[in-house]
């Protein structure tokens, strides 16, 4: 049985140079910042990491950089999802060779599976390429694939020996609760909506993966601590602060990814611009963003 995860795992931005090429030299600084702020690991090359915008070779190079510089005890999970089974298998094998703690696999998002059994077939073929733990990455808002996750877990528990659980990025808390109970509750359910973490904690969540944990982990660690000691008033207040942050990023001109990368530069780790078609804020917008962040108290809790 694969041990369950506890705590926060950040979904980091992929550092890029102004011309859009990878800036792998910045990965070490990014990993050090995450570890210093109390996260348990990184989910590399996922949605926040612009995985679908990178080539297979670039994604493997990113895996190599993260696994080479990860501090002791820091878990590197690698997103290997792709519309091509062979591409996903190639990245899964490389992740294992590099010493990654596990991988995550998003559903194929062009020719889409419509039921858990079809998705299970794709998932199992990729899982065969590795022995390390593998997670299904459920994010229907981006993939358009919204299968019954509880049914998928039941199937995976019987068919995939290295199945570890699900990165569950959806506001469907009913589905999340059902997935928590699937297969006897033996598997990780890593929640992926930062602004709803408290709701997931109430339903039994003990681990989460999210983009804002990359620059606001101390806020969420305090939230979890408040929940664990039964101080719901404090936990609700901290979740409200998170909601203010997420609402600011979602509503800001340009893109959430562009704004997030701009925040990383404010904190001393320049992750560069995102790749097109994602839009990066210009200098005036970044200055406006910094003022807005200061207005919600972001700089008082963003780092240790």
As a whole number, mean pLDDT of residues 13-17 equals: 98
pLDDT of residue 112: 96
Q: Could you count the other beta carbons within 10 Å of the beta carbon of residue 184?
A: 9
Task: Give the chain's mean pLDDT.
Answer: 96
Catalytic residue (one of 137, 168, 213, 301): 137
Whether CATH 3.90.79.10 fits 7-231: no
Tens-place pLDDT, residues 17-49: 999 999 999 999 999 999 999 999 999 999 999
> In a 3-state reduction of DSSP, which class is residue 5?
coil
Tens-place pLDDT, residues 79-135: 999 999 999 999 999 999 999 999 999 999 999 998 899 999 999 999 999 999 999
Tell whether the model's pLDDT for residue 58 goes beyond 80: yes
| Domain parsing of the chain, residue ranges | 7-231
The enclosing H or E element of 21 equals none
pLDDT of residue 277: 93
Show the DSSP H helices in 128-255 as ranges. 140-143, 149-159, 173-181, 197-202, 213-228, 232-251
User: Which residue has 């992929």 as its token pair?
Assistant: 14
Structure confidence at residue 3 as a pLDDT band (50, 70, 90): confident
pLDDT of residue 2: 82
| Catalytic residue check, 125 | no
pLDDT of residue 156: 96
Q: Which residues contact 212 (CB under 8 A, 6 or more apart)?
A: 194, 220, 242, 245, 246, 249, 260
Tens-place pLDDT, residues 168-213: 999 999 999 999 999 999 999 999 999 999 999 999 999 999 999 9
pLDDT of residue 1: 66
Structure confidence at residue 252 as a pLDDT band (50, 70, 90): confident
| Catalytic residue check, 167 | yes
Structure confidence at residue 253 as a pLDDT band (50, 70, 90): confident
- Both structure tokens of 64: 């190599």
pTM above threshold 0.85: yes
Catalytic residue (one of 13, 135, 136, 167): 167
Q: Please name every residue paired with 190 in a beta bridge, in sequence order, or none if there are none.
A: 167
Q: Which residues contact 303 (CB under 8 A, 6 or more apart)?
A: 33, 36, 37, 215, 218, 267
């Amino acid at each position: 049985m694969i041990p369950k995860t506890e705590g926060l795992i950040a979904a980091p931005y992929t550092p890029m140079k102004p011309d859009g090429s990878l800036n792998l030299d910045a990965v070490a600084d990014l990993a050090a910042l995450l570890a210093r702020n109390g996260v348990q690991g990184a989910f590399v090359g996922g949605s926040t990491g612009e995985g679908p915008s990178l080539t297979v070779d670039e994604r493997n190079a990113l895996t190599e950089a993260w696994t080479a510089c990860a501090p002791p005890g820091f878990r590197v999970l690698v997103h290997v999802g792709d519309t091509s089974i062979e591409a996903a298998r190639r990245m899964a094998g490389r992740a294992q060779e590099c010493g990654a703690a596990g991988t995550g696999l998003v559903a194929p998002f062009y020719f889409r599976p419509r039921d858990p059994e079809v998705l299970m077939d794709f998932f199992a073929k990729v899982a065969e390429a590795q022995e390390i733990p593998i997670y299904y990455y459920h994010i229907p808002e981006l993939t358009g694939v919204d299968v019954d996750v509880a049914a998928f877990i039941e199937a995976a528990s019987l068919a995939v020996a290295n199945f570890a659980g699900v990165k569950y990025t959806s506001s469907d808390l009913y589905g999340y609760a059902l997935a928590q109970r699937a297969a006897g509750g033996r598997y990780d359910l890593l929640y992926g909506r930062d602004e709803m973490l408290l709701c997931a904690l109430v339903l039994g969540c003990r681990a989460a993966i999210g983009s804002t944990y990359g620059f606001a982990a101390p806020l969420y660690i305090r939230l979890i601590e408040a929940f664990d000691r039964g101080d719901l008033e404090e936990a609700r207040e901290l979740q409200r602060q998170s909601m203010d942050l997420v609402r600011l990023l979602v509503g800001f001109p340009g893109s959430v990814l562009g704004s997030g990368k701009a925040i990383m530069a404010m904190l001393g780790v320049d992750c560069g611009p995102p790749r097109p078609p994602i839009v990066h804020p210009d200098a005036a917008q970044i200055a406006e963003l910094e003022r807005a962040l200061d207005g919600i108290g972001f700089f008082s809790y963003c780092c240790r």
